[in-house]
Amino acid sequence: MKSVSLQNPSEAFSLLSGRMGRLLRLKFKKELQKLNLTLHDRHFGVLLDLWSKDGLKQQDLAIATIKDKATITRSLDELEKMKIIFRVSDQMDRRNNLIYLTITGKRLREILLPLINTITHLALDGISSEEYKVFIKVLKKMYFNLKNPC
């Protein structure tokens, strides 16, 4: 859609999405503090991916979470210290590590997914299911538009 031009700077997608992301992270951080959990937002991409498929390659997690090698390594080091994940050398290619959830990491799903759902419902207050479906469809298209050239 090349015909879109920014008339009102406060409607810039990058501004709105960035601010929304910060508000969601702040709300989530506040709720985590209530539960005495010391997780950071940088851990959630990793956890969500591992909850979908355990035993991912460290390199694949870096790509999926759009993090550089040093950043994903630091996040995994932190999660490993918290006993949420563990690494296993890939038998097919020893240069790779496979990342698995510990029992603690798997149990966190039972705590965090309801919390994520609650915050999501709060953010979606007054938004119809049709609006949400369109929003997700557009967001996915935008994501793939930006991801593909990378």
Tell me if 59 is assigned to some domain: yes
**pLDDT attached to residue 15:** 84
* CB atoms near residue 72 (< 10 Å): 23
Structural domain includes residue 12:
no
CATH label of the domain that carries residue 92: 1.10.10.10
The helix/strand/coil state of 97 is strand
8 pLDDT above the threshold of 80: no
pLDDT tens figures, 18-75:
899 999 999 999 999 999 998 988 898 999 999 999 999 999 999 999 899 899 999 9
- List the structure tokens of 107: 């149990």
Number of domains in the chain: 1
Any domain includes 5:
no
What are residue 100's phi and psi, to 5 degrees? -125, 150
pLDDT of 31? 92
pLDDT tens digits, 93-146? 878 899 999 999 999 999 999 999 999 999 999 999 999 999 999 999 988 888
Q: Is residue 9 part of a domain?
A: no
Tell me, yes or no, whether 46 lies in a domain: yes
User: Could you tell me which of 17, 41, 45 has the C-alpha nearest to residue 28?
Assistant: 41
| Predicted local distance difference test score (pLDDT) of residue 41 | 84
**Which residue range is the domain that position 110 belongs to?**
22-147
The separation between the first and the last C-alpha atoms of the chain, rounded to the nearest angstrom, is: 20
Is residue 6 in some structural domain? Answer: no
> Is 7 among the domain residues?
no
Global confidence as pTM: 0.79
Q: Above 90 in pLDDT, residue 11?
A: no
- The answer to whether 119 touches 102, Cβ cutoff 8 Å, is no
Tokens 């960035």 correspond to what residue?
Answer: 18
What pLDDT score does 72 carry?
A: 94
